[in-house]
Structure 1
Amino acid sequence: MSTPLQPVITKAGLAAIWRADNSGLAAEISHVVLGTSGYTPNAEQKSLKAQTAKYPISGGERLGNSQLHLTAVADGDRAFWVREVGFLLSDGTLLAVWSHPTEALAYKPAGTDLLLAYDLSLAALPANSVTIVSGATGLNLTLAAPLAAQASALIAEQLRGLQQQDRLDDQATRQRIAGEQIANLIERMKAAEQRQSTDRDGLLSATVSNAAAVIALQKLVIENMHGA
């Protein structure tokens, strides 16, 4: 969303535009400056009263002969209330300034980028006498919200994928543990069966031995009886 501004054109800015116009060129806005002082601006200003930061123009477009749409990104770790805004030409001249004695335009949080988007009315200047110099990034802030929404959706989808993968990994771990427990149980059952088989063979051998001893004893008794 853009903020409409009706800034005060400075005398220095007007002189720079006149010089450029006489050379057949358009003056170029290259930077936006922000400050913390609130006041009623005047045409005699050559700078902001309490300039805090300076940022290059990231992008923009001409909305008409006397209206420009400008975008920029206020970054950095400094936090401050934006109470004055200036627009600099490529030669450093303060072209226009906006401020208000009691109202702040925005707040710049520490460590968080502030997206700046201004519709700048330059009705006091000759038509098409000012153009925009944007940085290499060419940021279009009108796309910021859709891109942020797409990024959020992508991150959410990736998170769901990771969570699903975690569940699959957990299930695989559970299956592996269950398989190990089943294999261990099978080994224990085999060992028990082996012990039972060994015990059965031992019992059978003992029974056979006892039977043989009984038969031998009976034979001995019979032989003694007949011998007598």
Structure 2
Amino acid sequence: MSIPLQPIITKAGLTAVFRADNAGLAAEITHIVVGTLGYTPSSEQKTLRAQIAKYPIAGAQRLSPTQIHLTALADGTQAFWVKEVGFLLSDGTLLAVWSHPTEPLAYKPENADLLLAYDLALSALPANSVTINSLPGDLNLTLSGPLASLATAQLAADLRGLKQQDLLNEHGKRHESSETQLADLSGRVPVLERQRATDRDGLLGAITANAAGLVATQILFVTTKYGA
């Protein structure tokens, strides 16, 4: 799925397009740059504020004289939020920049690819004044579906892994709690056994004393009644 963008055209980009147009040429977008800082972009910018990666354009399609669909594949091991996007011309000039103070565009997972697919509105430039220079093979719209499915499957797998890890952690905590309770019970058993032994000895002593008292009482009764 493509994300429609209305970027800010930089003054440097506008100058580059003007030079190319005067020479009868179209300025060429060759790379997408992404960064991790969200803000309100300015036409004075010449670079992103927190650029983290640069990717060649992998596919392109002209949707209208002032709108271009382009794709790139963000690969690598890094994980980051895409909060600013820039579009570079063939000479390295930052043609346009998009960012938002609070809303990220996408998330690039660790050790996974992210498909960057944008419908770029360039209504602030002359019609057909910008074209795309893409990689051989052209990563076109026919691949966006499978790549998106792969990305969705990867995210789902990551989510399942996190849930399983949380479940394992919970079981581990319960196991530790059970072991603690068992150790506490094991420590209390000898105390209870000693108490039970003490109570039993006390009970036997009381029974013996009562029996002895009863015998003495009977002997006294007999002696008193019948004489020694």
Q: In the alignment, which residue of structure 2 is the partner of 1:17?
A: 17
Q: Which residue of 2 aligns with 1:107?
A: 107
- The one-letter code matched in structure 2 to 1:17 is V
Could you tell me which amino acid in structure 2 is paired with residue 135 of structure 1? Answer: L
Separation in structure 2 between the aligned mates of residue 30 and residue 77 of structure 1, nearest angstrom: 23
Matching residue of 1:7: 7
Task: Name the CA distance, whole Å, in 2 between partners of 1:53 and 1:146.
Answer: 24
1:63 and 1:148, CA in 2 relative to 1: closer, same or farther beyond 3 A?
closer
* 1:102-181 paired onto structure 2 within 5 Å: 102-146=102-146
One-letter amino acid of the structure 1 residue matched with residue 64 of structure 2: G
Instruction: Return closer, same or farther for 1:145/1:124 CA change in 2, 3 Å cut-off.
Output: same
Q: 1:13 offset after TM fit, Å?
A: 0.1
CA contact (8 A) 1:79 1:109 kept: yes
The letter of the residue matching 2:57 is I
Give the total of aligned pairs.
150
- CA displacement at 1:137 relative to structure 2: 3.2
CA distance in 1, matches of 2:147, 2:7: 31
4+ aligned runs moved over 6 Å, structure 1 = none
Equivalent pair of 2:38/2:83 in contact (CA under 8 Å): yes
Q: Of the two, which has the highest radius of gyration?
A: 1
Give the TM-score of the pair, scaled to structure 2: 0.63
SS of 1:127 mapped into structure 2: coil
Q: Which runs of 5+ in 2 are unaligned?
A: 150-228
The superposition leaves residues 64-111 of structure 1 with CA deviations (integer Å, 9 ceiling, x where unpaired) of 010000000000001100000000000000000000001100000111
CA positional deviation for 1:147: 7.6
User: What TM-score do you get using the length of structure 1 for normalisation?
Assistant: 0.63
- Report the 3-state secondary structure (helix = DSSP H, G, I; strand = E; otherwise coil) of the residue aligned with 1:101: coil
Q: Secondary structure at the match of 1:68?
A: strand
1:104-146 per-residue CA deviation (whole Å, 9 max, x = no partner) reads 0000011100001000000000000000000123111443325
